[in-house]
């Protein structure tokens, strides 16, 4: 039985805390109900938007004329276990961090660096979530997605997902064409740790863990994130608003002459990654507040809602930041968040 609700406030369903109403709203807990929903007249006859935790979305209008589907498909299943790996399938509406905690409790490695990322398992492949040198693709096996136009479920392997830096086929050519219903992961029974990134090593050294373990790495990541990032429950935000730009080495060399302290990282594709947060900070945006919106005082890459901001005010500030970075450095920083 599908339970539609009308004129539902989405403030608690998006981490920017935007006061937006959905004309029609439904929460779906099983993949069978998701199939039923896609076949329903309400679904077929309206604009529709699927959300998970709403932690990568900005709503620009005050009312969404159409159907908002809150995906809450649960479930976790061990598919196979070998000497080295465990293959595990999770429902797409499960909270990502709960999935990570389940893996940590079992001592399975691979997702510990991705601890405390908000949102759901099903949205994780959308932008190939990443943090501290690990991306979803590193532990990804396959996913099941419901095609909206046919109602059929398709299986996607790694190649078919076309993962890139905060990208996948579902954020590009297949945007809004599929609903991801489950994701299958390959985790490690004897993990190899990746602690070279950012502040993890220092954090581990400061903690008094007895030996390196998935739990120790996860705890270190959680501690760093809690100390650096604004908690959306206190200050509305969607994490990094922009992607880090990748530029040609020759362009970087010309910039470096003017900005010798510019943080930069050589990528395997022989491009240079710059830290978008640093570029924004250099343009004077860090800590500035305009129309209840601002670039966070500790991490300028995170745009925050100081209480009563509208989605349009957030996007307007982001466009101003984007223009000023372009004017100063000649680099167009792209939005990472999804605008609706």
Q: Does 244 bind ligand NAP (CB under 6 A)?
A: yes
Per CB under 6 A, the list member of 109, 110, 122, 294 interacting with ligand FAD is 122
Q: Which of 253, 252, 273, 254 is nearest to 264 (CA)?
A: 273
Q: Does 338 bind ligand FAD (CB under 6 A)?
A: yes
CA dihedral 266, 158, 32, 47 (to 10 degrees): 50
Does 242 bind ligand NAP (CB under 6 A)? Our answer is no
**Among 25, 43, 132, 163, which residue sits at the site for ligand NAP (rule: CB under 6 A)?**
132
Among 131, 139, 255, 279, binds ligand NAP (CB under 6 A): 131
Q: Is 240 a catalytic residue?
A: yes
d(CA 160, CA 169): 8
Dihedrals phi, psi of 67, to nearest 5 degrees: -110, 125
**Burial track 169-182 (b if 16+ CB lie within 10 A, e otherwise):** bbbeebeeebbbbb
Long-range contacts (CB closer than 8 Å, 24 or more residues apart) made by 306-309 = 306/235, 309/16, 309/18, 309/236
* Residue 180 within binding range of ligand FAD, rule CB under 6 A: yes
Q: Is 272 a binder of ligand NAP (CB under 6 A)?
A: no
- 115 a catalytic residue: no
Using rule CB under 6 A, residue 164 touches ligand NAP: no
Pick 14 or 322: Cβ nearer ligand FAD: 14
Q: How far apart are CB 132 and ligand NAP at their closest, in Å?
A: 5
- Output the DSSP codes for 227-269: HHSPPTTTSEEEEESBPPPEE-HHHHHHHHHH-TT--EEE-TT
Position 142 contacts ligand NAP (CB under 6 A)? no
Report the nearest approach of ligand FAD to the CB of residue 180 (Å): 4
Q: Treating both helix axes as pointing N-terminal to C-terminal, what angle do 214-228 and 96-105 enclose, rounded to 10 degrees? A: 150
Contacts to ligand FAD by CB under 6 A: 15, 49-57, 71, 92, 117-120, 122-124, 126-127, 129-131, 179-180, 229, 232, 237-239, 338
Interface residues with ligand NAP (CB under 6 A) are 130-132, 197-198, 228-229, 239-240, 244, 265, 273, 275, 277, 299, 336
């Amino acid at each position: 039985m599908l339970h539609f609700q009308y004129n539902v406030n989405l403030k608690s369903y998006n981490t920017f805390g935007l006061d937006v109403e959905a004309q029609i709203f439904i929460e779906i807990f099983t993949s069978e109900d998701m199939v039923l929903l896609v076949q329903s007249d309400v679904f077929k006859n309206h604009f529709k938007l699927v959300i998970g935790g709403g932690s990568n979305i900005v709503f620009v209008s005050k009312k969404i004329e159409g159907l908002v589907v809150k995906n809450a498909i649960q479930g976790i299943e061990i598919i196979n276990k070998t000497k080295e790996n465990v293959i595990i399938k999770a429902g797409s509406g499960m909270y990502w961090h709960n999935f990570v905690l389940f893996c940590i409790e079992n001592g399975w490695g691979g997702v510990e660096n991705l601890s405390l990322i908000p949102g759901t398992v099903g949205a994780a492949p959308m932008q190939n979530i990443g943090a501290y040198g690990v991306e979803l693709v590193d532990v990804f096996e396959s996913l099941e997605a419901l095609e909206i136009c046919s109602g059929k479920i398709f299986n996607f392997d790694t190649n078919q997902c076309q993962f890139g830096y905060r990208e996948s086929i579902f954020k590009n050519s297949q945007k809004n064409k599929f609903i991801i219903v489950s994701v299958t992961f390959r985790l490690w029974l004897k993990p190899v740790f990746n602690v070279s990134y950012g502040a993890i090593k220092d954090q581990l050294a400061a903690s008094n863990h007895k030996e390196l373990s998935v739990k120790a790495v996860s705890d270190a990541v959680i501690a760093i994130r809690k100390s650096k990032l604004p908690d959306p429950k206190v200050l509305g935000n969607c994490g990094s608003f922009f992607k880090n730009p990748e530029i040609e080495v020759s362009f970087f060399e010309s910039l470096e002459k003017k900005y010798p302290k510019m943080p930069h990282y050589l990528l395997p594709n022989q491009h240079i990654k710059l830290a978008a947060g640093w570029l924004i900070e250099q343009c004077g945006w860090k800590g500035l507040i305009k129309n209840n919106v601002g670039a966070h005082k500790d991490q300028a890459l995170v745009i925050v809602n100081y209480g009563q901001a509208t989605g349009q005010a957030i996007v307007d500030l982001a466009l101003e930041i984007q223009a000023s970075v372009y004017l100063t450095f000649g680099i167009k920083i792209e939005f990472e968040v999804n605008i609706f």
